[in-house]
Structure 1
Amino acid sequence: MTTSARGSAASARRLARLALLCALAALVVLIAGAGLRSPLVVLAGLAAVVLAAIGVWWILAHRGPIRLLGFLLAVGAPIGVIVLYAGGDLWPEVLASMALWGGGLASARQALRHDTRPRPPRIRPSTPPQRPALIMNPKSGGGKVEKFDLVAKAEALGARVILLDTSTHQDVTTLARQALADGADLLGVAGGDGTQALVAAVAAEHGVPFMVIAAGTRNHFAMDLGLDRADPSRSLDALTDGVELRIDLGEVAGRPFVNLVSFGPYAEIVQKPEYRDAKAATALAELPDLLLGYTGARLSAEADGTPLGDPQALLVSNNPYAMADLLAAGRRPRLDGGVLGVVGLKVTGAAQAADLALRGERSDSVRTMTAHEVVVTADGDTVAAGVDGEALTLDTPVRCTIRPGALRIRVPRNRPGVPPAPPTMDWRRIRRLAFGPGDDSSQSDTATESDTATQRGATG
């Protein structure tokens, strides 16, 4: 074990012990202050979580009076437990206990980060492109191309800009191929993730570098590449002072994707024409039929030959997303792991919704894994899919695969980077860190793929 690794292991051990101490102190403070009432305090808090989760389920799965009742429950349960604590003069003890518990969680997460030693990103120096071609969508991201003057800035750096005509349909794949035929030695996109995936596939096919300009709405791919999403013009630094990364590219039914493919309720919702202009309203209007009265295709899936059952919703991603918090999973710590991330979800009632709220990823309603191939079937000839946010209908069975290292991607040498994803909380692992052997490097080296992936950089 190297000196830096020993230092990281020692830090992990200290933080793990601090986490356990804070957790124990939180319990002691609650018992000392509330006495015999302390179990009731804990039960009241858990009951509030369960009732709020049931309320959210009623909001999503029902209409009319039941939806209204769900809203009242989701809001009223937390307020009710706050009033209960206040009426019982338990504020000091509860607040102190919550503060200690929060400190324990923070220490535990830091311990898990220190325990897994990241592998440095594989960055390859490369010469600047001589004839870069950048495809830009002027409507993407609410007009970021114009707002940040991306056309003029790119042309000043020697790039040829192909500005899409949003009044008519244009085949960006054909435009990318034509740009290469005209001599382009780099392809780039200022647009949404779906457009980026199509051009990225052309770049991968011809072995030329690909470049992302963070001018989309959500910029999920740009975020996982560590690009500056607040100022997309900084992405253009890759043209003059850039480095090259090798990352993976996903494929679904022969179509490329850079982020994820979704099947199930969300995929059905994005098919609706009104979704683009009213996402929340459309989702609330459609979800009751999709969750309880669903008459669409029933899914089944296999990941590397392992049956996943009949998930209600299925997400297949180009490398796994961080799953420390199921509801907040929004980034991939690496893009070159060579595997697909697979998340299956099935919630058909209020009880399962409550279990999901309490147990998160460990709930029986959720199944997560990695695979090299996922095959999705249904009880119909076609199935709705959302591919990087684009609504598609695909013939079944649908085959999702990954092409490891298929894409050469050029990014600025200096970029914000990917913020470290919080690791999945595992108190058993915290106990092992705190009281296990003092110089055990094997535990870190043999951490599960999901744990190590959570700690590595965007390109691992």
Structure 2
Amino acid sequence: MPRSLPTPLRTLNDGLTDLDRRLFDAVAESPSPLLDLTMRPLSSAADHSKLWVLIAAGLESSGSLSMRRGAIRGLATLAVTSLVVNQGFKRVYPRNRPLSDGVPLSRLRRQPTSNSFPSGHSASAAAFAIGVGLENRNAGYLLAGLAGAVGLSRVATGAHFPGDVLAGFAVGAGVAIAGARMIPPVDDSRILIPGPTTEQLDPNPDGAGLVVVLNPASGDGTGARVADELRASLPAAEIVELDADDDIDSIAADAAARADFLGVAGGDGTVATVARYAIGADKPLAVFPGGTFNHFARDIGAATVAATVKSIQDGRVARVDAVWLNDDKLLLNTASIGAYPEFVRARTRYQRRRIERPTATMHAILKVLRNSAPVNVRIEGRPTTVSFFFLGNSVYGAPSFLPGRRSRLDDGVLDVRYLEDGHRNATTRLLSSWISGRIRNSKVYRELQAPVVTIESDEPFRVAHDGEAGELYTRARFRVAYRELRVFGKSML
């Protein structure tokens, strides 16, 4: 019968097989005293996983929680991998062991009788090393080197082709990764936050007892639309509309004194002002998104008027954190020093000239880039020069100098991130560390999370907060008021 014509797949298989044999000959027949001395004992030590069981016992007795978890995960991953290799792959893909004629006698071992593909020793080594490394990174690095040496020993002693070893590593790694998806490793650095604090009030279908302080000019006229929606949805609610000359503090204080529930519609600055009086009266606050960005309203699940109305009608209240600046100014979202306050002030000046917000924003950015200067401060007593400083109420997204959104508003910490000035090639170093995902190791970028943060300086510095340009300080002490504010909404808790 004529031999079938070669196909691209057969050609590839033949080429890989030939390469595999050549690599085997190069390693197994290498006249190396070091290989002669170490490979046979190492390969024997890994028989029946004796080496890994012994190491696991050492990790278990180390006293480190992560090492103990690593020992258990490593052995469990090894056991599953052995089952997959011996009862699966070796039965599906039979392959003869390599001929060991050229292997030095000092390394040669009695050949196993099972199929050669894949290497069970290599699969177990990779499974154990990666399993341990998922729980303790440093131990994983050390064991990865040992696992690689075990794989090499299987070739050097004539037990496997290099392809068998690589396939074994792949199987062991795959089982370890699959195990991590099924049972995620413990993150010892993760902050464990108590469950949300909620309360259930009586249903309130028409908004009885609700007094809403509303700024009709906020959000470029959004406030007026919110007023119309509120009158239609909550007819029993009282709406107090602010005029340009009104004293919002006195109006908010009066509303809090006579209301059962306090409401506010406006930008984040207006919301923070009214929230102060809601805290003082210990009354739930209903936040209606009437500003431009509505950061706080979105994060408590009140992104629309309808969402807040539904929470009031259902009587659903949650407690969230607030932040006090020097114990007299309330913040709900963020504060910053350095370039950002100057940006806010410049944008406000441009908008007062009746320039549209997007255009005003662009002009402000260009002005700040040209003229802003770093600020010399002491953060928790540590002298530094900052070009950008961000402080958030609760943790904002992943590490970055451009923070994302909050996933919680009740974790009890301040999220501080800043850029230090004065480093050589600071911009290049910052961008490279950001792109590579190693920004926390950058010398330019700093961060900390704490319930209290104090910033001091010999010269006054401006603190912007919740979208407002803010005031000048020589000492700014930020303190979290843990779950002090009661809000209507399905908050991101």
TM over 0.5: same fold?
A: yes
The CA distance in 2 between the partners of 1:242 and 1:403, in whole Å, is: 23
**CA deviation map 1:30-85 (0-9, x unaligned):** xxxxxxxxxxxxxxxxxxxxxxxxxxxxxxxxxxxxxxxxxxxxxxxxxxxxxxxx
* Residue in structure 2 matched with residue 266 of structure 1 by the alignment: 340
In percent, how many aligned pairs have the same letter? 29
* Residue in structure 2 matched with residue 343 of structure 1 by the alignment: 417
The CA distance in 2 between the partners of 1:259 and 1:334, in whole Å, is: 12
Q: Which amino acid is the alignment partner of residue 333 of structure 1?
A: S
* Residue in structure 1 matched with residue 262 of structure 2 by the alignment: 187
* Residue in structure 2 matched with residue 450 of structure 1 by the alignment: none
Shift of 1:120: 4.9
**CA deviation map 1:78-135 (0-9, x unaligned):** xxxxxxxxxxxxxxxxxxxxxxxxxxxxx99x96996679865333212246411111
Contact (CA 8 Å) 2:223, 2:291: kept in 1 or not?
no
Contact (CA 8 Å) 2:256, 2:277: kept in 1 or not?
no
The correspondence of residues 172-183 of structure 1 with structure 2, limited to 5 A, is 172-181=248-257, 183=258
The CA distance in 2 between the partners of 1:352 and 1:126, in whole Å, is: 53
**CA deviation map 1:415-457 (0-9, x unaligned):** 5x6xxxxxxxxxxxxxxxxxxxxxxxxxxxxxxxxxxxxxxxx
* Residue in structure 2 matched with residue 103 of structure 1 by the alignment: none
| Structure 1 unpaired stretches of 5+ | 1-8, 14-106, 418-457
| Structure 2 unpaired stretches of 5+ | 1-72, 78-176, 352-356
**Residue 298 in structure 1 maps to residue 371 in structure 2:** no
Partner of 2:283: helix, strand, or coil?
coil
Query: Structure with the greater relative contact order (CA < 8 A, sep ≥ 6): 1 or 2?
Result: 1
The CA distance in 1 between the partners of 2:312 and 2:476, in whole Å, is: 37
Q: Which amino acid is the alignment partner of residue 354 of structure 1?
A: T
Contact (CA 8 Å) 1:299, 1:376: kept in 2 or not?
no
Contact (CA 8 Å) 1:248, 1:403: kept in 2 or not?
yes
The correspondence of residues 362-401 of structure 1 with structure 2, limited to 5 A, is 362=440, 363-380=442-459, 382-401=460-479
Identify which range, 272-281 or 218-227, moves more after superposition: 272-281
Among 208, 231, 236, which residue is 1:152 paired with? 231
Among 403, 407, 427, which residue is 2:485 paired with? 407
Change (3 A) 1:300 1:144: same
Contact (CA 8 Å) 1:298, 1:379: kept in 2 or not?
no
Q: TM-score, normalised by structure 2?
A: 0.55
**Larger Rg belongs to:** 2
Q: Which amino acid is the alignment partner of residue 378 of structure 2?
A: A
Contact (CA 8 Å) 2:234, 2:309: kept in 1 or not?
no
* Residue in structure 2 matched with residue 286 of structure 1 by the alignment: 368
Partner of 1:121: helix, strand, or coil?
coil
The CA distance in 2 between the partners of 1:325 and 1:111, in whole Å, is: 26
Partner of 2:345: helix, strand, or coil?
coil
Q: Which amino acid is the alignment partner of residue 262 of structure 1?
A: S
Q: How large is the Cα RMSD of the aligned pairs?
A: 3.1
The CA distance in 1 between the partners of 2:195 and 2:477, in whole Å, is: 32
Partner of 2:291: helix, strand, or coil?
coil
Shift of 1:257: 0.4
The CA distance in 1 between the partners of 2:293 and 2:182, in whole Å, is: 29
* Residue in structure 2 matched with residue 243 of structure 1 by the alignment: 316
The CA distance in 1 between the partners of 2:306 and 2:218, in whole Å, is: 14
Q: Which amino acid is the alignment partner of residue 371 of structure 1?
A: A
**Residue 312 in structure 1 maps to residue 382 in structure 2:** no
* Residue in structure 2 matched with residue 141 of structure 1 by the alignment: 219
Change (3 A) 1:113 1:308: farther
Partner of 1:169: helix, strand, or coil?
coil
Change (3 A) 1:122 1:111: farther
Partner of 1:316: helix, strand, or coil?
strand
The CA distance in 1 between the partners of 2:322 and 2:279, in whole Å, is: 9
Q: Which amino acid is the alignment partner of residue 179 of structure 1?
A: A
Q: Which amino acid is the alignment partner of residue 295 of structure 2?
A: H
The correspondence of residues 26-425 of structure 1 with structure 2, limited to 5 A, is 120-128=195-203, 130-147=208-225, 149-156=228-235, 158-165=236-243, 168-181=244-257, 183-227=258-302, 229=303, 231-253=304-326, 254-272=328-346, 273-276=348-351, 277=357, 278-290=360-372, 294=373, 298-302=375-379, 305=380, 307=382, 309-327=384-402, 329-347=403-421, 351-360=425-434, 361-362=439-440, 363-380=442-459, 382-411=460-489
The CA distance in 1 between the partners of 2:195 and 2:470, in whole Å, is: 37
Shift of 1:178: 0.7
The CA distance in 1 between the partners of 2:276 and 2:184, in whole Å, is: 37
Change (3 A) 1:300 1:237: same
Q: Which amino acid is the alignment partner of residue 301 of structure 1?
A: R
Change (3 A) 1:125 1:395: same
Shift of 1:356: 1.6
Identify which range, 400-409 or 344-353, moves more after superposition: 344-353
* Residue in structure 1 matched with residue 11 of structure 2 by the alignment: none
The CA distance in 2 between the partners of 1:246 and 1:113, in whole Å, is: 32
Shift of 1:313: 2.1
Change (3 A) 1:147 1:132: closer
Shift of 1:407: 0.8
Partner of 1:331: helix, strand, or coil?
coil
The CA distance in 2 between the partners of 1:396 and 1:306, in whole Å, is: 13
The CA distance in 2 between the partners of 1:267 and 1:173, in whole Å, is: 23
Partner of 1:143: helix, strand, or coil?
helix
Q: Which amino acid is the alignment partner of residue 190 of structure 1?
A: A
**CA deviation map 1:380-418 (0-9, x unaligned):** 1x321211011122331111111112111121xxx5x6x
